[in-house]
Amino acid sequence: MMGFDHTPTDPGAERRRETRVLFQQPIHLRRSGWLRRWRRGVVIDLSASGARVANCPDVEVGDHLRCSLRIGRRDVLALDCRVVWIDARANAGVRFLDLTPLLRRRLADAVQRIAARQSWDGIAIDPVHAEDGTWAPADQLDGDEPS
């Protein structure tokens, strides 16, 4: 089972103990104090303990967020997380907090399924679709709020 292959220049690669896979799915984020209740980012990679999220311009290291993440056609997880790093391109690393054994198992199972579908070079081979005919990640969420 192949996971995401981190290069030696990745400072977090040595600290990671979990299999990490390329994922590229929308995620909805919420922090108390935001005027809009939910903000939308995109998960770039995923493990059972955290994720790298693009499009997070208004977060800071240490922020606690609530997120809603679709990991399958009908499986949407509500997770608490903490921002553990940010970069100049509005990417953020989040660690999932207070996972119940069931949530942890669902995440680990999803990561294993995704890893099994990824080719040797780490590129996901999941089908893609969008109602308007444009390219989009499979199972893309619609609207401002998660279902």
Which domains does the chain show, CATH number per domain?
Answer: 21-117 (2.40.10.220)
Q: How far apart are the first and last CA of the chain?
A: 31
Question: What is the dihedral angle through the alpha carbons of 28, 29, 33, 37, rounded to the nearest 10 degrees?
Answer: 10
Which DSSP string corresponds to 71-132?
-SSS-EEEEEEEEEEE-TTS-EEEEEES--HHHHHHHHHHHHHHHHHB-TTS-B------TT
pLDDT for 112: 87
CA-to-CA distance for 22 and 4, rounded, in angstroms? 6
Mean pLDDT, 10 residues at a time, the chain of 147 residues: 40 59 88 72 92 88 92 87 92 94 92 78 47 42 44
pLDDT in tens, 88-116: 898 999 999 999 999 999 999 988 888 88
Output the CA–CA distances (angstroms, integers) from residue 123 to 31, 33, 44, in the order listed: 32, 37, 12
How high is the pLDDT of residue 31? Answer: 82
Whose tokens are 């990561």? That residue is 111
d(CA 145, CA 143): 6
